[in-house]
């Protein structure tokens, strides 16, 4: 026999903060975030994080992946649950609780396109954002702080890099996320001593500066070290 609940049930949504860094021909890149331009009220025409309502027959993770693909075209990228936001009045339509996620993506090989209820989808510098709908500025700031904290002890930053990268690019990534300069010699010594990056035997091509060696992240080596109690720390 079906149950009848006497309590009102708030609506449930997911919102996703997608971070990226574009290394295509540029070393002085910055941390970027994906925003969609809403095509529906409220905040029609305004910028927001991709997301939407959770369907009754799907998990939170499935809802986040679906909304991300529907609104931006992104799929098969690093996705992690972040935090739950449930302040009263955060959505003018009704009582809405959202479970936020953050995602990391290397722009190479990922085409971004707007669809469903999104008028447009675009990358913005985290340091130069338009006004955001709902409480998405708070959601984004929370995700930024989580990313800044987590890259210190877990190599999730490699998700933002191309498959083959230079040590210069790797150092730039950490400097951007941590918002501070790192000593070149100490950084490279520490990273190479961990033995979680391997030389590919290749060098950069079609660059204006001196071509540098290319490396790749050795996840198998990292996983083995983690089982032994390895501590990744930058």
CATH code of the region 163-227: 1.10.10.10
- Burial-class residue 22 by CB neighbours within 10 Å (0-12, 13-18, 19+): middle
> Which residues are CB-contacts of 218 (< 8 A; sequence separation ≥ 6)?
195, 196, 197, 198
CATH code of the region 11-150: 3.90.79.10
* Segment holding 124, helix H or strand E: strand 118-125
Query: How far is it, in rounded angstroms, from Cα 161 to Cα 70?
Result: 24
Query: How far is it, in rounded angstroms, from Cα 52 to Cα 65?
Result: 11
- Going by their DSSP bridges, the two strands 96-106 and 11-21 should be labelled as parallel
Cα-Cα-Cα-Cα dihedral sign, residues 183, 186, 190, 191: positive
Per-residue pLDDT of the chain (234 residues; tens, 9 = 90+): 567 778 888 999 999 999 998 776 555 578 999 999 998 899 999 999 999 999 999 999 999 999 998 888 888 899 999 999 999 999 999 999 999 999 999 876 666 666 666 678 889 999 999 999 999 999 999 999 999 999 988 899 999 998 999 999 999 999 999 999 999 999 999 999 999 999 999 998 877 678 899 999 999 988 888 888 777 777
30, 126 Cβ separation under 8 angstroms: yes
pTM for the model: 0.90
Kindly list the domain boundaries of the chain, sorted by start residue: 11-150, 163-227
CA dihedral 120, 123, 125, 126 (to 10 degrees): 80
Both ends of the chain: CA-CA distance in Å? Answer: 57
């Amino acid at each position: 026999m079906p149950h009848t609940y006497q309590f009102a049930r708030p609506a449930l949504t997911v919102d996703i903060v997608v971070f990226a860094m574009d290394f295509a021909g540029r070393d002085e890149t910055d941390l970027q975030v994906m925003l969609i331009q809403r095509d529906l009220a409220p905040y029609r025409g305004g910028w927001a994080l991709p997301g939407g309502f959770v369907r009754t027959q799907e998990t939170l993770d499935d809802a986040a992946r679906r909304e991300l693909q529907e609104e931006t075209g992104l799929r098969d990228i690093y996705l992690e649950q972040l935090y739950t936001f449930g302040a009263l009045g955060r959505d003018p339509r009704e009582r809405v609780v959202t479970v936020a996620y953050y995602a990391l993506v290397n722009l190479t090989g990922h085409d971004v396109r707007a669809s469903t209820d999104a008028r447009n989808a675009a990358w913005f510098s985290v340091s130069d954002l338009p006004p955001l709908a709902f409480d998405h500025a708070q959601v984004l700031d929370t995700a930024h702080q989580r990313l800044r904290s987590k890259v210190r002890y877990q190599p999730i930053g490699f998700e933002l890099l191309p498959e083959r990268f230079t040590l210069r690019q790797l150092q730039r990534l950490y400097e951007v996320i941590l918002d501070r300069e790192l000593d070149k010699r100490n950084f490279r010594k520490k990273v190479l001593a961990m033995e979680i990056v391997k030389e590919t035997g290749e060098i950069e091509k079609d660059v204006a500066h001196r071509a540098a060696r290319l490396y790749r992240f050795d996840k198998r080596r990292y996983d083995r070290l983690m089982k032994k109690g390895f501590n990744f720390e930058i």
